[in-house]
Amino acid sequence: MQQRILILDGAMGTMIQKHKFEEEDYRGERFKDWHVLIKGNNDLLSLTQPEVIRQIHREYLEAGADIIETNTFNATTISMEDYDMASLSREINVESARLARAVCDEFTAKDPSKPRYVAGVLGPTSKTCSISPDVNDPGYRNVSFDQLVAAYIESTEALIEGGAHLILIETIFDTLNAKAAAYGVEEAFERTGITLPVMISGTITDASGRTLSGQTTEAFYNSIRHIKPISIGLNCALGPDLLRAYVEELSRVCETYTSVHPNAGLPNEFGEYDLEAPEMAKEIIDWGKEGFINIVGGCCGTTPEHIRAFVKGLEQVAPRTLPELEVRMRLAGLEACNLN
């Protein structure tokens, strides 16, 4: 990252949707008699359609990605409960990491001068630790901090077992979920005796410039900086045009490397993303030239074509240099509070 901007892959879900899988495709032979509907459980495809997942990874690596993400965004026990598949969480994480690692190793062997890395993905789960899902009971929570920690420990241990090179805690809309994830990751490192680099990526949910739990970009950064990840970034929810101001802000306040993987614009009335690769790459290249980014990729709606355009446009662009910030007490509620 000191030498060049690293390229993250694009959207897994977008590529899976191109296959137009039906219920029986998700089930495969192993789960043909499963007692609930499982269409949409994309992480399960690592078990039932492994060649499709392998090919998606391959397409992103061929496009020039340095880092590919495991197909585990919803593979925690908590999210898998939606399909009564919590017991499969560990297996899905292990196999997803193995699939990605095998393809990465294949590409690294072809060109050792461009090593490829597997980011073991920990998604935000389908629950939030800071906000009540019941408008009539603001104090109610449908998940506890300890439950989140336990889920993240299991997933992290499995991703390590499967061969992930680093851990990516991503699409964080609730900072307390991120803290539970980070705590779980550190616990997994202790239990396994293996420590990997950690990336953390939050989500600015709308034009308010805040996460779902109400924090500004700088407040989010202040809340998690003590974890000392290798990078802190933003992803999802917004396209590059709307995300730009927050990427610039993060670049200014962040003492470590920055990452960003935005959506291909906002979804249209059909839930599809219309921002084409050349148009999106134009914004991404400008971020690079302005010195905002160290790692960049794509989220919802992005494809290998987008990644290929990023790679080409950023080839001669220098990575962001880390700023030297004065020592201050950096606190956060919903806003940042920096004290001399």
35 token code pair = 């007692």
- DSSP states of 168-188 as a string? EEEEES-HHHHHHHHHHHHHH
Query: How many angstroms separate the CA atoms of 54 and 263, rounded?
Result: 23
Strand-pair partners of 169: 122, 200
E strand residue ranges, 82-154: 117-122
Query: Scanning the structure block, which residue is given the tokens 């496009």?
Result: 63
Query: Scanning the structure block, which residue is given the tokens 């050349």?
Result: 278
Q: Which residues are annotated as a binding site for Zn(2+)?
A: 236, 299-300
Do 7 and 297 form a contact (C-beta atoms < 8 A)? Answer: yes
Question: 272's torsion region: left (phi>0), alpha (psi -120 to 50) or beta?
Answer: beta
Query: How many angstroms separate the CA atoms of 155 and 280, rounded?
Result: 33
Neighbours of 72 (CB within 10 A): 31
**Smallest Cα–Cα separation from 72: which of 54, 52, 97?**
97
Cα separation of the two ends of the chain: 31
Residues in contact with 112: Cβ distance below 8 Å, sequence separation at least 6, in sequence order: none
Query: Scanning the structure block, which residue is given the tokens 């950064």?
Result: 221
135 token code pair = 């408008």
Query: How many angstroms separate the CA atoms of 255 and 102, rounded?
Result: 33
Do 46 and 52 form a contact (C-beta atoms < 8 A)? Answer: no
Strand-pair partners of 269: none
**Smallest Cα–Cα separation from 116: which of 60, 154, 155, 169?**
60
Q: Which residues are annotated as a binding site?
A: 236, 299-300
- DSSP states of 277-316 as a string? HHHHHHHHHHHHHHT--SEE---TT--HHHHHHHHHHHTT
